[in-house]
Structure 1
């Protein structure tokens, strides 16, 4: 299946930046196919297998009385190869979702450039969040983490992982790393790069820490909780593009915003409760496995537990602070319209509005172009040039 590149009227030179950007999905899929074809050749099969399949399986002792019928895995240096291969697949999947789902919806909505970018970002993240929630929830159910909460700390260090649990973390790391490549492929502006880089870096570092320090069990629960709140937010963002009637739009925004806020706050408190139960109470009771032991990959020491607890709680506190700040900002914006203040209040509001209009007047032309559809932008620029010549 060939993916269509971006349409252009110019013949782009091969190996140029524009050529790579337009055809990056086909190029990356060809690179991924090299590893798949390598499995068919006996000489290259071991190398290809190292990139595609899960590595570092645990050999169970025959003298053990209880033998697990399922193969268990640990982590190691070969996981870097798997992350690289599935990073390529994430790039291809990103392009498939963009072309065969999001682009077709955008054509029907006739959105502006700015709204196109917001729609694409929310659509891509929502697809990933829903996929991760369903897959992660299935793993949590079959591993019996939620109904046996003590399994989050009992038997630590949890060096042995099931194939699905290990594969889940590999995909998570690959996805957030592929976000950096999309900054180039999607031609993201410099002023828009920092929030994307910040999100991808924080997510990757937390997932990597849970994977390396054998906190995969509590890690997958925290990820699913976080993705639930993020998915609700992006569902609300996408609904705003589909609601065209004002009455329906207000009702949907109110209900959706309330549901999103409830899920967000619940996820934050749920994450803190899980972190406290695991790092403060649960692991402290494992007296047989206290202290840091690099040979057994044991990091159950008081200092390390406090560091892990602080890392999780500080992230939740930052997200809650940002959430409360946005809520206060929204409340202040709508307060003048619903308050019954006197003429003095109205004068202050009018002065602020006039100052805001004067500042925004400098960027008015650029904003008008962004609010137009891509088809009408060239027409608008032509009309403006004609008016300037007549003057």
Structure 2
């Protein structure tokens, strides 16, 4: 029998999706499952985006340009200008979700065996993207005790080697909800310029900043034009996860020229999804204002209820819609599976994401879970109550 590639063998499973078969079995057994495991918002997609697809006048569903339609990219640039990020449409490549943008970024700036420094815990698929690209993740650990704040710059400098090509951050962060301050972005800017590295920022949760805070983009930082690459997506901003439209943005012309070759290799991003995403840019600010109020309430309820559970420690997110909770258990993978297979409270249970998959350091995060507060407040209260009761009876 032919052998599977070493790359395929080492490709990590998604900590978010690998428990799906157990959830499906729970459904078959008649259980209600509260999904805290995945960032699929229950917020309605803007009607203007859905209508654009419903009433399109296309006769042929044709390819668009590899970098995305020019009209859409011009409107994306206008959107960025409203957020004090000044780029041209030629600085933008439309991608099939933020995931493809990350793969293009990795392929553009790193070769096999090169290194990328990432503060962990981080979005679990960064592990997958690095494996697919043959790139080594070098983690710099942020801790729940510090609310996952950026580690001291000295910690980054200790890790830089001749193979280091980039630093990658997620701002606001998935899975921690950490929002980088302007001062922290400036510190990172200094270090990438000093060591001639790229700074890649996954900014897909830009709109979701709480407590009156504002998001500061790496492309707002003067002097970072040749170093900065933004990863973006419509998935969470407009609750359009199924559209699979994102983009890569950089003022570095060589980055865009090179990333375009990867884009050409996959031909073009999906046409109908671009139509919907272009229309979504007409979404009024009131939509986001209401969403922020809703998510802030959900966050407050979730953190308050989690803090009532003995032995649970939780970070306080300032953005996105996730948090990391540390539980009085030894192995959250086993616990998450047990919740679906063997536990219910009046026919109800929960699905969580084990947090070890959001680290690349072995043995870290084994007693943590990521919770996505994408459910309404009543459902969140029920879900946390189920967690509390489950911890009372669970045995490692």
Q: TM-score, normalised by structure 2?
A: 0.25
Between structure 1 and structure 2, the one with the greater Rg is 1
Instruction: Give 1 or 2: higher strand fraction.
Output: 2
Instruction: Give 1 or 2: higher helix fraction.
Output: 1
